[in-house]
Chain A
Amino acid sequence: MKRSDQQTDEDFREQCRRQMERPLKLRLKYGFYRVYRPVMDDAAWRSFRTMEEYRQWCERELPEYLGYRRAK
C-alpha cells in the first residue's frame, strides 16, 4: 500500500519527536560521520574571499552527485 505524503510527513515528525527525546550525546554519536568526498576532501584546507566565490567553486569543481551545486 502506497503511503500518502501526509502519512510520510507524520512518520518523519514522529522521528523528530523521538530524536528530541534522545540525550545530546546520542544525537552527536549518530548525527556525525565521515566518508571520503572526492575533490572536496583532497585538500587540507581552502578559503574563499566571498560566499559567492565558494558557490562558484562548488559549481565548477565538485561532482554533481555531491549536491553542492545550485538547484535548478
Chain B
Amino acid sequence: MNGRREFRPLQAEEIARAFKKERVEYLFIGKSGAILLGYPGMTQDVDVFPARSVKNSKRLLAALGKIGFEIGADLERDILSGKDFVQIKSGPFDLDLIFAPDGIESFAQAKDRAVMEGIFPVANLRDIIASKRASGRQKDKIELPLLESFRIEYEKRNAPTLQSAREKLARKPQK
C-alpha cells in the first residue's frame, strides 16, 4: 500500500485521548502493551482489545475517524458485525483491533486486572504473555523468554504479583 502518511510514534497518545473522549472501552495488549509497561522492545503494530458490543464499536469508529483513520462503509460494517480480528492500515498507525485475543477469557476479566500506564489502559502483563503463548506464532516463541524475564523485573516494581485471567479462573473453586 503506497502513499501512507507520515508516521509519528507519539500518535499513540492521540489514539488514547480520542478513545477516552469517546468513552471507548479497550485495553492495549500485545507487544505494544508490553512496551508501554517498559518492555525494551520495538513494534510497528498497535494492538487494541476493545470490548465487543455495537455501542462500543460505534464509539471506537467515531474516535478513529477523528484521528485520521479512513473508515469506509465496508470496514465500518465489519467492525460493527463482531468480527474477531480487524487490521487497519489506513491511519497514522498500523492498528489491530482484536476482539477475541487468544488466551484471554473475556474483556471483563482482562479489564478487571488491567493497569493504567499514564493515559494508556494496558492489559495485565500476564494476560499479554498468556495471549502470545496461546497464539503459537514463530515470532512470539522467540519473544516469550524475553517477556518472561521482563515480567520478573516488572513485578518486582509492581507488587502484588499479578495473575493472568486464565490462571485466576483455574484457581476458582470448582462447584
Given known pairs A32-B32, A32-B46, A34-B7, the reply for A45 and B88 (CB within 8 Å) is yes
**Interface, chain B (partner A; CB < 8 A):** 1, 4, 7, 9-10, 12-13, 32, 35-44, 46, 70, 75, 78-79, 83-90, 93-94, 98, 100-102, 117-118, 120, 135-142, 146, 149-150, 152-154, 157
Given known pairs A32-B12, A46-B87, the reply for A27 and B136 (CB within 8 Å) is no
What are 10 of the A-B contact pairs (CB < 8 Å)? Answer: A13-B150, A16-B39, A19-B40, A28-B36, A31-B32, A32-B12, A37-B44, A43-B89, A53-B85, A69-B138
Q: Other than A24-B117, A47-B85, give 17 A-B pairs with Cβ distance below 8 A.
A: A22-B38, A27-B36, A30-B42, A31-B39, A32-B9, A32-B12, A35-B44, A41-B1, A43-B89, A44-B88, A45-B75, A45-B90, A48-B83, A51-B84, A68-B138, A70-B138, A71-B140
B70 touches A44 (CB 8 A): yes
Interface residues of A in 28-72 (CB under 8 A from B): 28-35, 37, 41-51, 53-55, 58, 64, 66-71
In the complex formed, the residue of A with least CB distance to B157 is: A20
B44 touches A13 (CB 8 A): no
Shortest CB-to-CB span from A9 to chain B, Å, is 6
Residues from chain A with a CB closer than 8 A to the CB of B154 are 16, 20
A12 touches B43 (CB 8 A): no
A19 touches B39 (CB 8 A): yes
B85 touches A54 (CB 8 A): yes
A25 sits at the interface (CB 8 A): yes
Q: In the assembly, what is the distance between CA of A37 and CA of B48, in Å?
A: 20
Q: In the assembly, what is the distance between CA of A20 and CA of B39, in Å?
A: 7
Residues from chain A with a CB closer than 8 A to the CB of B41 are 31
In the complex formed, the residue of A with least CB distance to B152 is: A13
A31 touches B87 (CB 8 A): no
A33 touches B42 (CB 8 A): yes
A16 touches B150 (CB 8 A): yes
Residues from chain A with a CB closer than 8 A to the CB of B120 are 24
Residues from chain A with a CB closer than 8 A to the CB of B141 are 71
A3 sits at the interface (CB 8 A): no
